[in-house]
Amino acid sequence: MGKKTEKKVRPRALGVDNVELFDITCFSCQKHHKLLQDGQFHCKYCGVMCENCASEHQKTPKQAGHWADKIRLISHFETPVVPTFNFLEKCETHPKRRIKSFCLDHGALCCNDCTRDLHAGCTIDAIKTMCEDVLTEAEMVESKNELSDLRRRGKKAGNAKKQEIINMARQATLFENYVRDLRERINVMFDSMVAAIVKEKDEFCKAESQLIEKDATLCDDLGPMFEVAQKHLDEAYRGRKKEDMWIAMKKLEAMITHYDGIVTGVENDKSEVRFEFVPNASLQGILEAPENMGKMKVTSSRLYGNNTDLTSKRNDAPSIRNADSKFKPPWEGDDIKAHPSPWVKSTNLLSKSKTPLPDLIRHSLGPRPNSLPQGIRTARGTIMTRTSNGLVTPKVGKQSDKGYHLANNSKAKVIGEVFGPKNTNMKITYIGRKEIMADFDAELTSVTGSAFLPNGRLVLIDNHNKNLKLYSSEYEFLSGIALEERPWNVTSCYKTVVAVSYPYDQSVEIITTGMDMKIEAKIKTDRTCHGLAFHQVEKWLYIVCGSGKNAQIQAYSLDGHLRKVIIPKHGVFQEPVYIAITSDSKRMFVSDLDNGIVGFDTKSGDVICQFRNPDIKRYWDIKLDPDGHVFVLTTDPDCIYVLTGLHNGQLLKEFRPELSKPCSISYSPINKDLVITRWKVEEIEVYRFV
């Protein structure tokens, strides 16, 4: 028997922004158990509504800014725009029917079903009547000529476009050669600068050495004179003549008085010569913002338009991410218009000191300890470490009975269970929904980061409305603060202090929460920053930065100084988005969109484990409880997983696919609550362990 094919479900209507609507039942009538009616209007935030509900929808103050447009019903019997010649006598709309007539109003070939369903009120003529004079009509000859001409023009246009690609490649080669030649000329300028500075240095060292050698020669010449004076003094004492002894003593006093001033002057001259390079304003601007040295301008581009300046960026923010990047949040698109600020060297708002960028390598002061791990020492003792043992991707088909991969590094195994004590009976119950939308919110909330403070208060980061909100332990709104950039994640640092990451601005802000919010400091990174986690022992802020081969974990002190960089092997990270550190600060876990959950040893930076389920497409936010259990929020399917023991992954909750995509998860150690936020909603969902 042949395999039975499933019937494809077709949309019934098109809504706002050409959204396909499969169910046009009024959601408001269905929610309030009213008489169900087919919707006539659609709002991209609220769904399908009937005429009565749509009129009420426009009057609601909370819904201000929403607008419901009339939906367009789709007829599934529309004639294809371009006819095919698969079956000459068959109807294009109804392949099992023969063409019987021709619509004079629409110029369409019709079968009996088309005449009945689509052209009931049109002027129809039978095919037999229309084709009587076809052999004598000049249209047949004209059609053949037009077809030949169209084929010729199409072939010519195709060859022209191929030649256009060749010309573009030639222009690109000339452009590349020009840029490389410009680089060579710049290198010649820098070589000349280095030669001049080295020559000046050599001349200075020669002149300075002559002055220093003069003092050294003077001190060396004093030695024989002092030996002669010592000899005569000894002879006078051996002769026991008072006159000779008194004369020798007076001469010696005069000599000591004279040369003591000379030796004292040489001793006090302890000035040490040091060299420091002081760049001018132009070179200083290049060193601080190398990506602003030049840009590419494209003229007559189909991709970007005419006369478009393309500024070369070395950072991969989501707004300027490459086409092969897989980091695409569900709300990315027209809803987000990022405005990445230019690369500047930030000033710490708390300490008023310049924040050292991690890509500027400087010489360390003082000797290097032998106990430091292998790596590069940068400003203020930063250790740039590359893990010796990276993640090895399992071969295809090598899966455990649990259906996911686990790669352990034998050289970096941790003592005990990786994901906390094994517990296979963890269950949660639904508590309810809590409203989080405030009056000053212009759009529905999209909370991409959430965290509980030690006092039980909840901090939410709204990516769409660009604000931070503080809620009580009973989820009542307390205060909020507007942010300049779109935030991504938040983590708790101290009792009332949190850190907020801004991917598009490539920065992190330290904010004191309370009834009066205050931004205390700002940390500037050298690449896109997403997830945050605070190390309770080192008091450093660990940040997941970059993507692909540029992905790494950077650790900063709260005063803005880079302390450590962990660079895993290629392939460990694809798109890391969130990070969490255990309560004992010995392990940290990073969620990667494609590679799952990757565990690291915090001290050495080695990869110790990986969790990846082949049935899960995307891994998002993660949180830990005090026991070390890892709670993972996934999409496609939308679920909550909990990782316990060595390699035990348990499905904790699966959401209905028709709901909005989940954004973040947070765990309250006080109430034992799990809080789930979603994309473009008014409420959060609260679950509690039973």
pLDDT at 318 over 60: no
Q: What is the pLDDT of residue 311?
A: 43
Question: Are residue 64 and residue 157 in the same domain, yes or no?
Answer: no
Our count of domains for the chain comes to 4
Last residue of a domain, one of 268, 299, 334: 268
**Best CA proximity match to 646, nearest among 421, 492, 348, 346:** 421
Q: Shortest CA distance to 539 belongs to which of 557, 561, 566?
A: 557
Shared-domain flag, residues 594 and 655: yes
516 and 564: one domain?
yes
Per-residue confidence at 372, pLDDT binned at 50, 70, 90?
very low
| Whether pLDDT at 339 is above 60 | no
Q: What's the whole-number average pLDDT of the chain?
A: 76
What tokens were used for 158?
Answer: 């195709």
Contact between residue 483 and residue 468 where contact means Cβ atoms under 8 Å apart: yes
Residues 21, 62, single domain; the answer is yes
DSSP, collapsed to helix, strand or coil, labels residue 548 as: helix
Instruction: Please check whether residue 124 lies inside any domain of the structure.
Output: no
pLDDT at 501: 95
pLDDT beyond 90 at 268 = no
CA distance 643 to 420: 8
Whether residue 631 is contained in a domain is answered as yes
pLDDT at 396: 32
pLDDT at 545: 92
Residues 291 and 257 grouped into a single domain:
no
- Per-residue pLDDT band at 340 (split at 50, 70, 90): very low
- Percent helix, strand and coil across the chain, each to the nearest 5: 25, 30, 45
Q: Are residues 28 and 156 in the same domain?
A: no
The packing angle between helices 139-239 and 242-268, to 10°, is: 170
Q: What is the pLDDT of residue 332?
A: 42
Number of C-beta neighbours around residue 364 at 10 A? 15
DSSP conformation class of 98:
B
- Residues 532 and 577 occupy one common structural domain: yes
The pLDDT value given to residue 568? 86
Indicate the pLDDT class of residue 309, thresholds 50, 70 and 90: low
Q: Mapping DSSP to helix (H, G, I), strand (E, B) and coil, where does residue 132 land?
A: coil
Q: What is the pLDDT of residue 117?
A: 79
Specify the pLDDT at position 231: 84
How many contiguous H segments (helices) and E segments (strands) does the chain have?
A: 7, 37
Evaluate whether residue 434 is within a structural domain. Answer: yes
Greatest mean pLDDT range, 154-158, 232-236, 286-290, 642-646: 154-158
Over residues 3-53, the pLDDT tens digits come to 444 545 667 788 887 788 888 888 888 888 787 777 888 888 888 888 888
pLDDT at 81: 53
CA–CA dist 550, 524 (Å, integer): 17
Position 335 in a domain: no
Residue 124 has pLDDT above 50, yes or no: yes
Contact 602, 560 (CB under 8 A): no
Q: Rounded to an integer, what distance in angstroms lies between the CA atom of residue 566 and that of residue 649?
A: 27
Q: How does pLDDT run across 451-476, given as a tens digit for each residue?
A: 999 989 999 999 888 999 999 988 99
Q: Do residues 548 and 644 both lie within one domain?
A: yes
Q: Which of 523, 474, 510 is nearest to 671 (CA)?
A: 474
pLDDT band of 292, cuts 50, 70, 90: low
Burial 54-83 (b: 16+ CB within 10 A, else e): beebeeeeebeebebeebeeeeeeebeeee
* Residue 231 or 556, more confident: 556
Q: Looking at the structure, tell me whether residues 286 and 229 fall in a common domain.
A: no
Q: Which residues contact 191 (CB under 8 A, 6 or more apart)?
A: none
Residue 82 lies in a domain: no
Of the ranges 174-188, 360-374, 652-666, which one carries the lowest mean pLDDT score? 360-374
* Chain centre distance of CA 447: 16
Whole-structure pTM value: 0.46
Identify whether the C-beta of residue 633 lies closer than 8 Å to the C-beta of residue 620: yes
Q: Closest Cα partner for 292 from 305, 280, 273, 309?
A: 309
State the pLDDT at residue 462.
92
At 105, the pLDDT band (50, 70, 90 cuts) reads confident
Do you find a cis peptide bond into 637, omega within 30 degrees of 0? yes
Domain annotation covers residue 101:
no
Final residue before a domain boundary, out of 73, 91, 109? 73
Q: Residue 297: phi, psi to the nearest 5?
A: -115, 125
pLDDT of residue 290: 66
| pLDDT over threshold 50, residue 342 | no
CATH code of the domain in which 552 resides = 2.120.10.30
**359 is written with which tokens?**
């890509």
Q: How confident is the model at residue 308 (pLDDT cuts 50, 70, 90)?
A: low
Confidence at 675, pLDDT banded by 50, 70, 90: very high
> φ, ψ for residue 31 (rounded to 5)?
-70, -40
Q: Which two tokens stand for residue 79?
A: 């004639």
Task: Please tell me which residue, 292 or 619, carries the higher pLDDT value.
Answer: 619
172 plus 199 within the same structural domain: yes
Structure-block tokens of residue 321: 């991410």
**Model confidence pLDDT, tens digit, residues 378-404:** 333 333 343 333 333 333 333 333 333
- List the domain range (segments joined by +) for residue 646: 376-689
Same domain membership, residue 463 and residue 382: yes
Rounded to an integer, what distance in angstroms lies between the CA atom of residue 197 and that of residue 96?
A: 87
Quick one: 158 and 179 in the same domain?
yes
Q: Confidence class of residue 427 from pLDDT cuts 50, 70 and 90?
A: confident
578 is written with which tokens? 């969130």
Three-class DSSP category at 169: helix
User: Looking at residue 5, what is its pLDDT?
Assistant: 45
Q: What is the mean pLDDT of residues 636-654?
A: 83
Q: Where are the alpha helices (DSSP H) in 119-138?
A: 127-130
Considering only CA atoms, give the Rg of the chain: 38
Q: What is the pLDDT of residue 121?
A: 79
**Contact partners, residue 36, CB within 8 Å, separation at least 6:** 25, 26, 29, 30
- The dihedral through the CA atoms of 588, 627, 689, 646 has a sign that is positive
Q: What is the rounded CA–CA span in Å between residue 22 and residue 118?
A: 22
State yes or no: pLDDT of 315 exceeds 70: no
Instruction: Report the 3 state secondary structure along 173-229.
Output: HHHHHHHHHHHHHHHHHHHHHHHHHHHHHHHHHHHHHHHHHHHHHHHHHHHHHHHHH
Per the domain annotation, does 322 fall within a domain? no
Q: Is residue 320 part of a domain?
A: no
Does pLDDT of 558 surpass 60?
yes
**269 vs 647: which has the higher pLDDT:** 269
Could you read off the pLDDT of 168-184 as tens digits, one per residue?
899 889 989 988 998 89
CA dist., res. 303 & res. 192, Å (int)? 41
**pLDDT tens per residue, range 241-255:** 888 888 888 888 888
pLDDT reported for residue 610:
84
CB 436 within 8 A of CB 471: yes
Which residues, 6 or more positions from 188, have their beta carbon under 8 angstroms from its beta carbon? none
